[in-house]
Structure 1
Amino acid sequence: MKKNIRIGTRDSQLALWQAHTVEKLLNDLGYSTTIVAVKSEGDLQVTQPLYELGITGIFTKTLDIALLEGKIDIAVHSMKDVPTSLPEGIVQAAVLERGNTTDILVHKGNLDFLEKNATIATGSLRRQAQWLHKHPQHTTVDLRGNVNSRLQKLKDNAWQGAIFAAAGLERINLKPEHYINLEWMTPAPAQGAMMVVTSAEDTYCLNALAEINHVETEICTYIERQFLKTLEGGCTAPIGALVTYNEKDDVLHFKGSLFSLDGKEKIEIDKNFELKDWKKLGHNCAVEILENGGKELMNTIKTQLKK
C-alpha cells in the first residue's frame, strides 16, 4: 500500500536543503512526500560549546523522538552529527552519495595573519586541535550556530578567520570569495555525507530508501564511524577520519587521526587496504591508534573536558 512519506528535518537552511534533496530523489522514483521541520536542542542552545552540553546526538535527538512517536516517517541528518549508536528502534536506511569532504578557512581577504598571532573561530574540537597543531601561535574561539549565523559572526568580530565544512557552504551557495581549502586537515568521520533513518519496522520506507542508497559512500562512512566508535570519540574528542575508494586498484585508503586538545600530540594512521577487509577496518585502525598511545591520550582528553 502506498503512503505519503513524512520527511523530518531541522529547520536550518542547510538541513532543509538536505531534506529537499531526499524528497526529490524519492519523488523521482514515484513516492509521495511531505517535509516536516523542527528545531533541535543543538539549534536552540548556541552559546555553549557542543562538548559542554554533554548530550549525545544533540542535533538528532528531537527528530529521533518524533520518529519514535510516529510524527514523521524518516529523518534526514548530516551524517557527521549522527551518534555512532542509533536509538533502539531506529535504523540507518540510506546514505546519499558524498559531497565535498574538505574543511575550509573563511577569511577576510588578507592571509598575512597565518604567520603571526591570530584568532580563529570554530565550534569543533577536531578543527581546533588540528589548527593549533599547524599554527601553535594562534588562539581559537568557540563558534556556534547554523552556517548563516556563523558567517555573520565572523563578519561582526575581529577574528581573522573561521573554519567551515566546504560541503555545507556549497550546498546553499554561501561559499564566500575569500577562503582556502584545508586539504591537510582530516575531516570529521562521515563529513560531506547525508544519512536517512527510519523505524526498524517500517518496511515501506526501508524499501523506498534502499533505492536511493549509495553503496560506496555507505561503506566508506561505515569504516570512519566504526573507527570513531571504537575510539569512543562521539563529539567530545579531536578525531578525524577519511576513507576513499580507488576503483581502479580496488583499494581503500584510510586516514585517521587523534589529537590532544591543544594540538601538540598527534597519533595518525595513513594506509591502503584491500576492499575485502572493509568490515573490520575502522575497528582495527582504532585499536592500532589506542595501542600506540591513544588510550592514554583519550583518558587525558576525557579528564580535561570534565573540568
Structure 2
Amino acid sequence: MKIRVGSRDSRLAVIQAEMVMDCIQRHHPEMDVELVTMKTTGDKILDRTLDQIGGKGLFVKELDRALLAGEVDITVHSYKDMPMEQDSRLPIVAVSAREIPFDALVLPSGRRQMDPSKPIGCASARRQIQLEALFPGTEIRPVRGNVQTRLAKLESGEYGALVLACAGLKRLGLEDRVSRVFTQQEMLPAACQGILAVQAREGMDVSFLREFHHASVHIIACAERSFVAELNGGCSAPIAAFATIAHDQLTLEGLYQEESTRRVLRDRITGPCTDAVELGRRLARRMREEAETR
C-alpha cells in the first residue's frame, strides 16, 4: 500500500511531514510512503500580514485541494496554523505529541542582550500585545516568511530580536538560537502551538496512524480550539489558549483583547477532560461577558 503525504515545501514543514512518515514506516514497514510538497498562497505572499491577505486558510487551501482531488492521501500541518473552520470532508485523523509549546526570544548571533533601539519582530497580534507588556517602549514590528527568512532579517540588522515558537526551532535543530524561553505567565502560546495535525479524506482507513496519534493531546487541542472558535478568532485576533491535563482534569488558560476597549483579559477554567470542548466555550463566554460588563 502506498501513502502520499502532502506538505508545504518549507524546510520546517518537510521535517514535520517526515516525522509522520518515519512513524508510519517504523510501525508499518510494508507500506510505501512518499512525500509530495507544494507551495501555498501563504508562502508566496510575504509583504503583508496574514489578516491583510486572507488568514491562516492560505496555508492549507492548496493542500486541501490536493487531498480532495486524491493527489495525496494525508496532509501534515502545524495545528496552530489551521483555520477554525474546517471542511467536514477532511477531518483531523491524528495529532502528534506536543513539543515545547512556548515562544522564544532569538537574538542576533553573538549578542547576549537585545538592542532596544531596534524593533522586535513577531508574526501575530497575540505575541504583539504580550510583548508590549513585557517590553514597554520597544517597537514591535511584523515579520513574515519561514524561520530561515526571518533569521536572515534578524542578522541583517533589520530587527533587534525575534519571537519564534520553540517547537519550530527545536525541530529545525536551532535550539542554540534560543536566548530566552518565555514562561506561561509571560506569554501565553497560540492554541495548539507545538502540535502537528494530520488530515485525511472522510471515511479513509487511517489505522496506520494509530501509533502516531496521542489521544490526550487531542483532548487538549479540542479545548484550546473551542475557546478560540467561540471568540471568532482568526489569525489576526489577539487570542491565546493553553491547556494541560492532570488526574483526568483539564485546566485551560485563555487570553484575548477586547476589540472596542483594547483591554487584555486573561482567565482560566478547570473541569473533566470529557468536557474539553465545553470548557473552552464556557471560558470564552465568561471572558466575553466580563469584557462587556466593564
Relative to the length of structure 2, the TM-score reads: 0.92
Counterpart of 1:300 in structure 2 is none
1:82-129 per-position Cα deviation (integer Å, ceiling 9, x unaligned) = 11221241111000111010101111324364xx55411111111111
User: Alignment partner of 2:58: what SS?
Assistant: coil
Letter in 2 for 1:277: D
Counterpart of 1:270 in structure 2 is 268
Contact 1:104 1:163 in 2 (8 A): yes
1:57-95 per-position Cα deviation (integer Å, ceiling 9, x unaligned) = 111111001101111000000000011221241111000
Structure-2 change in CA distance of 1:86 and 1:276 (3 Å): closer
Structure-2 change in CA distance of 1:295 and 1:155 (3 Å): farther
Q: State the alpha-carbon separation in 1 of the partners of residues 174 and 272 from structure 2.
A: 38
Alignment of 1:1-307 (within 5 A): 3-30=1-28, 31-108=31-108, 109-111=111-113, 113=115, 118-177=118-177, 179-183=179-183, 184-202=186-204, 204=205, 206-246=206-246, 249-259=247-257, 265-293=263-291
Q: State the alpha-carbon separation in 2 of the partners of residues 97 and 295 from structure 1.
A: 39
User: Alignment partner of 2:290: what SS?
Assistant: helix
Structure-2 change in CA distance of 1:284 and 1:259 (3 Å): same
Runs (4+) of structure 1 exceeding 4 A deviation are: 260-264
1:213-262 per-position Cα deviation (integer Å, ceiling 9, x unaligned) = 1011100011000111111112120100000112xx33222111002689
Letter in 2 for 1:23: M
Letter in 2 for 1:220: I
User: Alignment partner of 1:89: what SS?
Assistant: coil
Contact 2:4 2:34 in 1 (8 A): yes
**Unmatched 5+ residue regions in structure 2?**
none
Q: State the alpha-carbon separation in 1 of the partners of residues 15 and 37 from structure 2.
A: 11
Q: CA deviation at 1:292?
A: 1.2
Give the total of aligned pairs.
Answer: 288
Structure-2 change in CA distance of 1:15 and 1:261 (3 Å): farther
Q: State the alpha-carbon separation in 2 of the partners of residues 34 and 201 from structure 1.
A: 21
Q: State the alpha-carbon separation in 1 of the partners of residues 261 and 180 from structure 2.
A: 20
Contact 1:238 1:261 in 2 (8 A): no
Q: State the alpha-carbon separation in 2 of the partners of residues 95 and 244 from structure 1.
A: 16
Q: State the alpha-carbon separation in 2 of the partners of residues 152 and 262 from structure 1.
A: 37
- How big is the alpha-carbon RMSD for the aligned residues of Structure 1 and Structure 2? 2.1
Q: State the alpha-carbon separation in 1 of the partners of residues 172 and 146 from structure 2.
A: 12
Stretch deviating more after TM superposition (142-151 or 24-33)? 24-33
Contact 1:47 1:144 in 2 (8 A): yes
Q: CA deviation at 1:133?
A: 2.3
Q: CA deviation at 1:177?
A: 4.0
1:25-60 per-position Cα deviation (integer Å, ceiling 9, x unaligned) = 111121321000100111111111111112441111
Counterpart of 1:305 in structure 2 is none
Contact 1:258 1:294 in 2 (8 A): no
Q: State the alpha-carbon separation in 2 of the partners of residues 263 and 139 from structure 1.
A: 21
Q: CA deviation at 1:152?
A: 0.8
**Unmatched 5+ residue regions in structure 1?**
297-307
Q: State the alpha-carbon separation in 2 of the partners of residues 295 and 121 from structure 1.
A: 34
Counterpart of 1:299 in structure 2 is none
Contact 1:125 1:238 in 2 (8 A): yes
Stretch deviating more after TM superposition (273-282 or 56-65)? 273-282
Stretch deviating more after TM superposition (221-230 or 152-161)? 152-161
User: Alignment partner of 1:57: what SS?
Assistant: helix
